[in-house]
Amino acid sequence: MTTIADVAKLAGLSRTTVSRVLNNHPNVAEEKKRLVLEAMERLNYVPNSTAQRLRNQKTDTIAILVPVLTNPFFAYLLEAMDTVATDNNLQLLVCQTRYDREKELNFLSLLKTKQVDGLILTSSENDWDIIAEFTQYGPIVLCNEYSELVNVPTVRMDNTEAAYEAACHLIEQGCKKIAYSYGEKKSSVALERENGFRKALQEYGLPLNKEWIIRNVYDMEDGREALNYLSRLPDKPDAVFTGSDQVATGMIIEAKKQNINIPDDLAIVGFDDQPIASIVEPGLTTIAQPIQQMGTKAMETMIEVILHKRNLSYHEILLPFELIVRDSTNRISFN
């Protein structure tokens, strides 16, 4: 690895002079400049842009923290962010936390060490007071994830209201024993959805059997296992509200294997409206998240902060959702 010192030695000049040439410093004699450039060429020396970035403290890179890339929700969110970033000559650094606190802290350090200009969190593993420490090093925007304690811009949809609407829909279809499944206990998104779900049950005076709450389900395989668990309960639910199209699809596939009729024996609601929701049969009733708008707004907000130097403290951008009704809950004809 050739260094500035090597260039200086070959040119017979000081490191400071070489450094001045590299930085286009005005006070360098033409002859010295020539010697440095000649030496650089002979040594095939590449000015280290890490050093250059260090000087102007700009990386034109935004880190996006996502929990898993195999969940299409995050892939499509990144797609929307990338489109806006590209239009503004920024590049994305995609960081997969895999729901791991330590990994999240490592990636948050990218701000501290000036490797990125800003950071967007689409999920959070650590408590907000820990994450908040990093805002002193650069801008953070929350997208999808949310915390009552935050002092940074937040782009999200109202998960409480969406879950409430989905649960009311199941109740209106005649379901009385509704199970509930979710991924991460600590996630604000999961907590909001649970609140909305419980609110609907309360309003209609419906019970929530503890056995109908299923934790730590994330993907299709988890969905299959969850269906197996539910189908073996003595007091079986007649519907399930999942927080995920992936989980709901796994449940549908397993239910069909066991000749459980959907929605007659079990009505199922997903979340996200991923492509899979309209491919699986019966089609999956789900909440369409404003993924495109969320990704776009989050990146636009980041750009306002870093390119236009706007000092944005907490403000919330709340985007609309939509309940998409398909056959997985369409029980009216059966009642």
Residues lying near a copy of itself in the complex (CB under 8 A): 1, 44, 46, 48-51, 53-54, 57, 68-70, 72, 75-76, 78-79, 82, 86, 91-96, 98, 103, 106-107, 109, 112-115, 136-137, 220, 249, 253, 275-276, 278-281
Distance CA 38, CA 44 (A): 10
Instruction: Give the residue from 141, 117, 147, 143 showing the smallest Cα distance to 129.
Output: 147
Distance CA 162, CA 192 (A): 9
27: DSSP letter: S
Distance CA 278, CA 322 (A): 15
Instruction: Give the residue from 324, 208, 274, 230 showing the smallest Cα distance to 71.
Output: 274
314: DSSP letter: S
Give the Å distances, CA to CA, from 4 to 27, 51, 58, 157, 320.
Answer: 19, 11, 22, 52, 55
Distance CA 302, CA 64 (A): 11
Residue pair 119/301 in contact by the 8 Å Cβ criterion? no
Residues listed for the chain: 335
- Classified as helix, coil or strand, 290 is coil
φ, ψ for residue 162 (rounded to 5)? -65, -45
Distance CA 31, CA 28 (A): 8
The least distance separating a copy of itself from the CB of residue 53, rounded to whole angstroms, comes to 6
Burial of residue 58 (CB within 10 Å: 0-12, 13-18, 19+) is exposed
Residue pair 288/76 in contact by the 8 Å Cβ criterion? no
* Both tokens assigned to 120: 């967007």
φ, ψ for residue 70 (rounded to 5)? -80, -5
Residue 31 parent element (H or E)? helix 30-43
* Cα Rg of the chain (Å, integer): 26
